[in-house]
Structure 1
Amino acid sequence: QLNSMGREVFKENICLHGAFAYQLKETRELQKIKQKLEADKTLLLQERETSEGLIRKKILQINCQKAQIGDLQRKVEKLEVALCCTTRESVRQTQKTQHQVLTESQASTVEIKKLQQLLEMKDREMNRVKKLARNILNERTEVERFFLDALEHVKQEIISSRKHYKKKAQTAYYRKMMEACAGKVVPKIQTFKSNLNSRNSVYRDLEEAEKCYWEKIQFEKVDISELTWEQKERVLRLLFAKMNGTNPW
């Protein structure tokens, strides 16, 4: 019986040992599972805290965005009101400007018509002035041609008169020289060429005679018929210069 009980106890011990080993193994597995669950719990807590932080941050952002949206909506409403006012003012100003432009355009049209009429009058007046100036110029040209012809005629008369005077002076001088050969008074030597060094020249006699005549008639009335051809030339040149507004000498 003892051996039988010992065997039973031994078997029971073996069973208990196996059960203990199994239980120990299970305990270790459970501890590992517990550690893993605790690690997962810690990780989940961290993730939860992170998520809650993100949620709070998002809520703050949403609230800020809502506030910004509200401000923007109020600004948009104000801008819409201002835009309506500006549009009405712009339309009113445009209508006023159009009316002013129309009024000024009508006034300008009237002024342009007046200016056109005035311009036509000025053109007609200018044409009359041009015609008158052309007539005056033609008359002046005729007068100038008359003076030039008169001067040319006087020049020819002067040449002819001087030739005639020179011929008479030469004849008289030669006659006196012939008389001197016959025993009468010898006349002064006289030249008949234009020579500045000659003291007794026919041309000097003419110059002295003209000079004395002009000095004589300064305070007397002049008869044109009494003037010599040289004096008539001088008068014509003086008149021609006066007409052209130039200095005759």
Structure 2
Amino acid sequence: KYDKIEIPGKLTLSQPCSPFSSCNNFARNDAVCMRCREGMRRAIMPTTKTSKSKREKRGKGKKSSKHEPKADKEPDLETARANAALWELKLKITEQDLSDYRGAHHNMALLNEQLTNQLFRCEQNSVDMTGYWQEEVEAREEKAEDFKALQGEMRKMEENEAQLKEELSDMRKSMDFTQKEHEETLRKTEDRFQRDQASLKKEMRLMCNQEIAKMKLDHHEAIVKMESALTSAFKERDHLNETLKTTIQEAEALKKLTHSLAKEKLSVILEKDMLKATVKKDTAKMEVKEKKLSEVMAKAASLELTLAEISRKSEQQEEKEKRNLVTIQASQVELDKLQKLLAMREKEMQHVKQLAKTIVDKRREVEVFFHEALNHVRQEIVASRLQNKKEALQDYQQKFREATAGMIKFPPIRSVNRSPNYLFTDMEAAAQWSHPPSDEVNMSQLTWEQKEKVLSLLFAKMNGQTV
């Protein structure tokens, strides 16, 4: 947008109204603002001296002839000044544009620096990602090598398993000869096991009786101590419940173990039957396998040892089951007694709660009574004050009538402030306590204000408040 400025002397200047100039009205569509136009006009208009104009008016002929060439030079000066002002404005605009371009260049440099930083970060991230993926590929290759090694080991295991199967078949053939001796030893061990089991049962009964007697004594002492520490009994009850759960879990585990042992025993019996069948079939081949009898005897001895260990473990498990049953029964008895004692304590607590409820109800009734009494006393105070006010007004009106009639003097004016004729002196006197502390006072002798004070003090002391 350009604003055309007309100057005397047929000179026209075109000045752009820049958004970076000091003009605030750049958004207008018609022309430059009046302030910019006035500034241009002041900058371009010539400054004339008053002394020269006065001299020209006085009409001095010689001096006017000398000033004629100066008048011819005035348009040239005006054009020069206009051009100078125009170039100054253009210089200002270019300086402003230069400063703006410098700011934009600075912003672009900052943005370029940010972009280079982002590019460096992206490159660093890409390098890190390539390193990470290389490590992942190496790890996968190591896993593949491990998998190949595992496959080789599996093949070796399969070969060893085939060899073991062959050795087992050979051992079964060699075990046929020693089966009879093994049956005799089994019979002997079963007889010995039954004898030991009977003796263990007797010992366990004796131990159980002794432990029951001890448990009775301990239980009697525990009952005596239980009355002094009920909270510890609750904790012990929780502990006993946990131990009971653990013992039940152990008993279930032992039952599972016994079932597994029974299954193993059945499998051993089946193998024994199979061995008998193989003995009947391969009696002719026994003469060839006499050389391997020594090795088979050694292995049979090891099997006997394992069988003895299995029998010993089964005996220990049976003993543990019996002990667990005894402890479960004893803990159940203690739990029943504790539950009875807990029921008694709960009954006592219910009785105490009922007593507390009755006490609270009575206290509530007393509080309601005190509130009603205080409300009644306050209502009576209000009524008595209204009555006193009414009587005082009637008395005052009567005295005023008598005073206007000339019978007595006018009554004194009673004010609200602290004066001798204060309006509420009677009420304050009624509220004060006039009885000595040693005398007995009847409630009928007190005023309503004193009754209110007594009731509020009683209510505060009943609630434990200090007055």
Give the TM-score category using the shorter length: 0.5 to 0.7
| Structure 2 gaps, min length 5 | 1-297
Q: Compute the displacement of 1:109 (Å).
A: 0.9
What's the counterpart of residue 412 of structure 2? 188
Larger Rg: 1
**Aligned-partner Cα distance in 2 for 1:136–1:243:** 14
| Structure 1 gaps, min length 5 | 1-73
Q: Which of 384, 401, 426 does residue 161 from structure 1 map onto?
A: 384
Task: Evaluate the alpha carbon distance shift between residue 189 and residue 118 of structure 1 in structure 2; reply closer, same or farther with a 3 A threshold.
Answer: same
User: Is 1:124 aligned to 2:343, yes or no?
Assistant: no
Shifted more, 178-187 versus 83-92: the winner is 83-92
What's the counterpart of residue 124 of structure 2? none
Task: Evaluate the alpha carbon distance shift between residue 86 and residue 244 of structure 1 in structure 2; reply closer, same or farther with a 3 A threshold.
Answer: farther
User: Is 1:238 aligned to 2:457, yes or no?
Assistant: yes
Q: Which of 403, 416, 423 does residue 202 from structure 1 map onto?
A: 423
What's the counterpart of residue 332 of structure 2? 109
Task: Evaluate the alpha carbon distance shift between residue 96 and residue 109 of structure 1 in structure 2; reply closer, same or farther with a 3 A threshold.
Answer: same
CA contact (8 A) 1:169 1:202 kept: no
TM-score (norm 2): 0.31
Bigger proportion of residues as helix: 1
User: Is 1:220 aligned to 2:444, yes or no?
Assistant: no
**Aligned-partner Cα distance in 1 for 2:336–2:330:** 10
What's the counterpart of residue 138 of structure 1? 361
Task: Note the alpha carbon deviations across 1:118-145, whole angstroms, 9 max, x for none.
Answer: 2221232233223323323332232222
Q: Which has the higher contact order (CA 8 A, sep 6+)?
A: 1
Task: Evaluate the alpha carbon distance shift between residue 183 and residue 121 of structure 1 in structure 2; reply closer, same or farther with a 3 A threshold.
Answer: same
**Aligned-partner Cα distance in 2 for 1:172–1:158:** 20
- AA in 1 matched with 2:324: V
**Aligned-partner Cα distance in 1 for 2:315–2:411:** 116
Task: Evaluate the alpha carbon distance shift between residue 179 and residue 217 of structure 1 in structure 2; reply closer, same or farther with a 3 A threshold.
Answer: farther
Q: Compute the displacement of 1:173 (Å).
A: 3.3
Task: Note the alpha carbon deviations across 1:163-189, whole angstroms, 9 max, x for none.
Answer: 112222233334444454426444432
Tell me the number of residue pairs that the alignment of Structure 1 and Structure 2 aligns: 171
Q: CA RMSD in A?
A: 3.7
- AA in 2 matched with 1:239: L
Shifted more, 182-191 versus 163-172: the winner is 182-191
**Aligned-partner Cα distance in 1 for 2:460–2:374:** 12
